[in-house]
Amino acid sequence: MSRIGKLPVNLPKGVTLEVNGTNVVSVKGPLGVLTQEVDSEIRVEVEGDQIIISRPSDSKRHKSLHGLYRALIANMVTGVLEGYRKNLELVGVGYRAEANGQRLSLSLGYSHDIVMELPGEVKVEAKTEKRSNPVITLQSIDKQLIGHVAAKIRSLRPTEPYKGKGIKFVGEQLRRKAGKSASV
């Protein structure tokens, strides 16, 4: 049995879940509404204040879908209740970030600035304080979307292992290499 799939998802107060006939799950909460299409063989039911996800058989495909949809629905419930936040830090001399609405302008040591248009569901904020690295804060109710946007921003200048320059998540531990050593 799927260890993740068999766990029920708690439905907090203020959050409602609806299942349409076409297996589209809609979760509504104080921060917004998220929808997810579920495979037609997986059943989603609300019993009291818990969401139960069940599968028709123990085939490998059904087991994997069982855990997948349980995790997606749990992320949706958390998202509409609390939301998600990712913090990215720009490490490097002259690296800057500026946010104007849904537009993020990055100066990452290239010959030109990089301007990114972010989706409307993601709120962006860039802070630069004296004597510290610039920090980009992303907020959204959709965990998949915020992870995708954060990965896209990070891919513009991945951290390098010798000096640690680049874009990294706040609190991320980097593997550093020693570099060249002088010959004896």
CATH number at residue 108: 3.90.930.12
- pLDDT of 23 reads 86
Residue 21 reports pLDDT greater than 90? no
- 135 pLDDT tier (thresholds 50, 70, 90): very high
Whether residues 73 and 118 fall in one domain:
no
CA distance 46 to 17: 8
- 183 pLDDT tier (thresholds 50, 70, 90): low
Q: Which two tokens stand for residue 181?
A: 């050593």
Whether residues 101 and 164 fall in one domain:
yes
Whether residues 73 and 142 fall in one domain:
no
Residue 15 reports pLDDT greater than 60? yes
Q: Tens digits of per-residue pLDDT, 35-85?
A: 999 998 999 989 989 999 999 998 999 999 999 999 999 999 999 999 999
Domain count, the chain: 2
Residue 152 reports pLDDT greater than 60? yes
Residue 1 reports pLDDT greater than 50? no
Whether residues 119 and 66 fall in one domain:
no
Last residue of a domain, one of 52, 81, 110: 81
Residue 180 lies inside a defined structural domain of this protein: no
Last residue of a domain, one of 54, 81, 108: 81
Whether residues 16 and 63 fall in one domain:
yes
CA 9 to the chain's CA centroid = 19
Residue 124 lies inside a defined structural domain of this protein: yes
Whether residues 164 and 98 fall in one domain:
yes
The lowest-confidence range among 4-8, 19-23, 40-44 is: 19-23
Residue 65 lies inside a defined structural domain of this protein: yes
Whether residues 135 and 106 fall in one domain:
yes
Single out the residue of 123, 32, 120, 132 nearest to residue 86, CA to CA. 123
Whether residues 93 and 77 fall in one domain:
no
Whether residues 112 and 93 fall in one domain:
yes
- 166 pLDDT tier (thresholds 50, 70, 90): very high
Residue 77 lies inside a defined structural domain of this protein: yes
The lowest-confidence range among 10-24, 121-135, 152-166 is: 10-24
Last residue of a domain, one of 38, 61, 81: 81
Q: Which two tokens stand for residue 49?
A: 């204040």
| Arithmetic mean of pLDDT, 2-26 | 87
Whether residues 102 and 146 fall in one domain:
yes
- Provide the residue range defining the domain that includes 118: 84-169
Residue 104 lies inside a defined structural domain of this protein: yes
Residue 2 lies inside a defined structural domain of this protein: no
CA distance 137 to 134: 10
Residue 97 reports pLDDT greater than 80? yes
Burial-class residue 112 by CB neighbours within 10 Å (0-12, 13-18, 19+): exposed
Single out the residue of 159, 157, 155, 165 nearest to residue 91, CA to CA. 165
Residue 12 reports pLDDT greater than 60? yes
